[in-house]
Amino acid sequence: MNYTLNQLRVFLKIVQTESVTKASEELFLSQPAVSIQLKNFQDQFPIPLTEVMGRRIYITDFGREIAAAAEQILQQVQAIDFKTASYKGLLTGRLRISIVSTAKYVMPYFLTDFMQNHPEVQLQMDVTNKQKVIESLENNEVDFALVSLLPSKLNVDKLDLLDNQLYLVGKAGIDLKKNQNIKNIFENLPLIFREKGSGTRQTMEQFIEDKNLTVLKRMELATNEAVKQAIIAGLGFSIMPIIGLRNELETEKIQIISCAGLPITTKWQLIWREGKKHSPVAEAFLDYLEMHKEAIIAEKFGWCAAT
């Protein structure tokens, strides 16, 4: 047997994604390169690891056993790398964070310098919906989560990072009648909602309920990016976090619509399980945020306050 660590990584990713194409995308390799690595790995075993039927690849039972062994091997290699770096006096380990989709406009800016200062730290950041973010926290699968609304059924500690301001927005160039009261504005606007469970949707629905508004629900979309494109296409209006609209506002594709009671301000909050014992990496990241978050906000997010 002369398989390499790279072949183990490639095969494990193919098993995890059940797709050569998806594996190549996640590994930042070409599809032919991944296929060659798979073939070279398979050639070392007398029993098939995969089967191709139609356009789909299936993992055999033997292949799944090899994948499980490969994962253990790679974890041990990673542990060796961590120990080596530790002996050199470097901060090592993995930082695991789960964030809601809109938080992708926020979290990277609070990570960049920390990761550059600690090159031996490995970042695992999952961008997903709110339900899965909270589940990963409940199952103790991550160190931190970034949300705009705190979970109602989970005790957490938190660090406030940044104001999250939500405005009523629509396609640029649409001329709405001025001086309308809030009820008249919303009665005549086709609204685009995020999917159920979204923090943005919860905030929007709470605003509608608090103001006792009658609204026209035009559609429901799963991501902020989809909502933005629908707005730009003229399909409707929505209440959205300004943090994800910088480019569209600067290029005048989307406009903010002045409305009483808006913006709604919530907080982007880094949260973790109450009583959780942090790893050295997680503890160092919290210390870094406490020391540098105000400077990061001023440098990277000052445009929000100026809007």
CATH for the stretch 5-87: 1.10.10.10
What one-character DSSP code corresponds to residue 43? T
At residue 106, the pLDDT reads 95
For the cut 70, the answer to whether the pLDDT of residue 15 exceeds it is yes
At residue 218, the pLDDT reads 86
pTM exceeds cut of 0.95: no
3-state helix, strand, coil in the chain (%, to 5): 50, 25, 30
Q: Which one is predicted more confidently, 235 or 304?
A: 235
CATH class, domain 93-162+267-306, is alpha beta
Q: Which one is predicted more confidently, 3 or 295?
A: 295
pLDDT in tens, 43-58: 999 999 999 888 889 9
Q: In whole numbers, what is the pLDDT of the chain averaged over residues?
A: 89
pLDDT in tens, 82-136: 667 665 666 788 899 999 989 999 999 999 999 999 888 989 999 888 888 999 9
Confidence band of 260 (pLDDT split at 50, 70, 90): confident
At residue 89, the pLDDT reads 61
SS3 173: coil
At residue 98, the pLDDT reads 94
Task: Check if 5-87 and 93-162+267-306 are the same fold.
Answer: no
At residue 90, the pLDDT reads 66
Give the best-scoring range by mean pLDDT among 27-31, 231-235, 300-304. 231-235
Residue 194: strand pairing partners = 221
At 184, which amino acid appears? N
What one-character DSSP code corresponds to residue 223? S
Q: Which of 76, 124, 67 is nearest to 98 (CA)?
A: 124
In percent, the amount of the chain with pLDDT more than 70 equals 95
User: Are 148 and 267 within 8 A, CB to CB?
Assistant: yes
pLDDT in tens, 211-255: 999 898 889 998 889 999 999 999 999 999 999 999 999 999 999
pLDDT in tens, 121-130: 989 999 888 8
- Residues of 229-253 as b/e, b for ≥16 C-beta within 10 angstroms? ebbeeebbbbbbbbbbbeebbeeeb
Query: How many angstroms from the chain centroid is the CA of residue 288?
Result: 21
Rounded mean pLDDT, 17-29: 86
Q: What residues does each domain of the chain span?
A: 5-87, 93-162+267-306, 164-266
At residue 173, the pLDDT reads 87
CATH for the stretch 164-266: 3.40.190.10
Rounded mean pLDDT, 17-30: 86
In percent, the amount of the chain with pLDDT more than 90 equals 58
